[in-house]
Structure 1
Amino acid sequence: MVSSTWWADVLHGAGPCDPRFPPCAASPPPRRSAPLGTLEAAAPRIARRSPSADPHSTTGGRSPDSGVDMVTRKNVTGRFCSAAAGMLVATAGLTLAARRRRLEAERLGLRRLELEEAASRRRALAHQQRMHWELLTRAMDDASLAAVIDTYDKDIPAEKRRQFFYANAWYVNLYYLYEAGLLDQQELFGRLREIFQTPLMREYWEASRAQRATLDESSDETRIGAMVDGLIVELDEADTDEWWVVGTPPPAWEGTSSSGE
């Protein structure tokens, strides 16, 4: 039987959970809310499923973190290989450039030596030409000096032998110009064709045949002598007064020093 006091408490606002009543006294105390930042205490933990248990997983049984690490390692390795290859190409390029510069320097050095040798040869030829002319001049001015180098036939008058000395000076002058590289083979042919128009030059050439026979067969002077022999024959057989068109220069000689290089 409910007492009147109970009803009075109900009427005055006492709830059914008043601790004075046995049901409320037996119920547990209310749970306090968890502080902010501790969601795990408020939310139930969700079990993480193993990747191998997921039929749609693409990691092949590996942890997703391990896949990320592998990709990172591959990227680092690829960058390292690219850098190494670039350094190798750059080193090879520098080595090749240095080798080319060294070869170019050697080529220029060799060319400089060749030019210096050619210049020295020209100076020597010029000096020899001056000496030759000076000696011939003295021989032409003094008969006693001419007798020293006079190897022509003694049946030839002395006056003509002196003319032969002068003819020889002209021929030797052209020879030195060719040897110094100041005349090429075709220009030499034209000059010889001009000076051998006179009968006196042809007489000199015939009188000095024995002297030319002592020359080396492979020398430039022997080749020039053979060219003059052919030129004289063509001039004698020509039916025209236009001597400057007579004769054909021979093919270029190989292994000559006429270039001066």
Structure 2
Amino acid sequence: MERTAQQRHYALLRQALDDPEMGAFVDSQSDSISPQTRRQYLFANAMYANAVLAWRAGAMDRDEVLRFLRSLARNPVFRSYWVASAEHRVNLPEDSHGAEAARMVEELLQEFNQPSDDEWWVVGEVPNGPGGTST
């Protein structure tokens, strides 16, 4: 069931990417952004949704998702998409993977916006595992 939903999600995104008229339907701000930006936002959505779905399906754990979201949050197009799509996350169930992933992104973005003097290149919690430390 999960895989079928994911396949449908990507089929719809592909249609929206391939057909500007469909892309305008998907994007609630279609009048205020360029077709190029719309395509970038749709791709950002696909990357983000893929990570959340992989987490829900057990293909990624929380630390892997956090590392992936950290890489997305470094991208200025993703940051712009995140602001523009805020209304889509308002009604997520509090205990859902989607809501937790959204909280992770929000925390990462806050940390990116508040650089410190030491370890300025490290954003977010350092995950356990390869390259991470356990505290």
Q: Same fold (TM over 0.5)?
A: yes
Q: Distance in 1 between matches of 2:65 and 2:110?
A: 17
- Tell me how far 1:198 sits from its aligned partner: 0.8
Structure 2: give runs of 5+ residues left out of the alignment: 128-135
Which position in structure 2 is the counterpart of 1:130? 7
Higher RCO, 1 or 2 (CA under 8 Å, sep at least 6)?
2
Aligned residue pairs, count: 125
Partner in structure 1 of residue 72 of structure 2: 195
Q: What are the residue-to-residue correspondences of 1:145-224 with 2, within 5 Å?
A: 145-152=22-29, 154-224=31-101
* Deviation sequence 1:65-100 (CA, Å, 0-9, x none): xxxxxxxxxxxxxxxxxxxxxxxxxxxxxxxxxxxx
Q: Deviations over 1:194-242 (max 9, x none)?
A: 1211100000000010111122223221121111101111122235563
- Aligned-residue identity in percent: 34
Partner amino acid for 1:204?
A: Y
What is the alpha-carbon distance in structure 1 between the residues aligned to residue 126 and residue 28 of structure 2? 31
Measured against aligned partners, the alpha-carbon deviations of 1:177-207 in whole angstroms (never above 9, x if no partner) come to 1001111111111110012111000000000
Specify every segment of 5 or more residues in structure 1 that has no aligned partner in the other structure, as ranges.
1-123, 251-261
The amino acid of 1:221's aligned partner reads G
Shift of 1:137: 1.1
TM-score, normalised via structure 2 length: 0.82
TM-score normalised by length of structure 1: 0.45
In 2, distance between residues paired with 1:241 and 1:230?
A: 15
Alignment match, 2:131: none
**1:139/1:145 contact within 8 Å kept:** yes
- Give the direction of change, closer, same or farther, for the CA distance of 1:249–1:131 in structure 2 (3 Å limit): farther
